[in-house]
Amino acid sequence: MLDGVTSAHSRRAYSVALDGFIEWWERDGRPPFAKSTVQAFRAKLAADGLAPATINLRLSAIRKLAVEAADNGLLDPDLAAGIGRVKGAKRLGVRLGNWLTLQQAQSLLAAPDATTVKGKRDRAILAVLLGCALRRSELAGLAVEQIQQRDGRWVVADLVGKGGRVRTVPIPAWVKVATADWLDAAGIETGPVWRAVNRGGRVWGDGMTEKVVWYVVEQYAANAGLPEIAPHDLRRTCAKLCRAGGGELEQIQLLLGQPTRSRAHCGVLVEACLVRLRLVLVAEYRLGDQRILWQLTEEDGTPGVTRDGRERR
């Protein structure tokens, strides 16, 4: 059944859902695979206190199993149709979500020790999450070859996101500085951007998993006094700051890789995001012995550089 699911994330979620259903089904005496059985499983999930979204996801996997079984002659089509009519859990209201303020984002970016190789890597990871609004999977799979210049601006080109949607993501100047600092320190010229760093500061391996991204955010959020912050919260923070800086909703949707009502704006993605989305975010870096303060406040995305309180344009 899982072979008919195209998305890797959906396959993983469906696999977990079906494993849980089969485990419950065996404990319950292996009742017939029918609508009443699925309804009983739904009641059990609700009694366990699972969120409506989780319940509906698991019911979707069971409905998919019933359809595939009926198509392959393993289940009566009427039973499969009955299972498909099992109602999901109601979702009342909209979750607010979590995001950082400007000051909290500054504290998080300043948490890594930029004098070490690992600190440079972790600072670059946080910068990309905050400045480019990438998902964990998109960040973990980022390659050096995708970081390109288009019309004099740095972008992540042809990024394949959720649902197979392809987009080009603009890279703010301060994010590019942090990323280049890590790549230079690690000596990486091609291949995956992110690599493992051992305790001696030696870079090794050929990539990094999504779990490492989660651990990096969790570690430095705790150090900055920001508990319960997840990588997706940084993506949400980027959208919030872009909106506060005057960005339009459709442009932010394009930046995040979310579907919009019209596809006509896709051709102006890079220019629109870089010109109109004013990401007012201050990041402090230590490059060598000089302290440089980068601040993105201008509409054209050009960073102002402040040294000792004086701004250079």
2-84 classified as CATH 1.10.150 = yes
Amino acid letter, 164 = G
Q: Specify the pTM.
A: 0.70
Closest CA to 120 of 288, 269, 253, 252: 288
Query: Does residue 80 surpass a pLDDT of 50?
Result: yes
Angle between helices 210-223 and 117-132 (to 10 degrees): 100
Helix, coil or strand: residue 143:
strand
> pLDDT tens for residues 188-218?
999 999 999 998 899 999 899 999 999 999 9
2-84 matches 102-312 in fold: no
* Model pLDDT, residue 93: 67
pLDDT of 287 over the 50 cut: no
> Is the Cβ–Cβ distance between 24 and 83 less than 8 Å?
no
Average pLDDT over residues 225-248: 86
Digit-coded pLDDT (tens) for 297-313: 333 343 333 333 334 33
Q: 149-182, pLDDT tens digit by residue?
A: 988 889 999 888 887 888 889 999 999 999 999 9
Q: Are 154 and 147 in contact (CB under 8 A)?
A: yes
Q: Are 206 and 191 in contact (CB under 8 A)?
A: yes
For 102-312, the fitting CATH number among 3.40.630.10, 1.10.443.10, 3.30.300.10, 3.30.43.10 is 1.10.443.10
Domain ranges for the chain = 2-84, 102-312
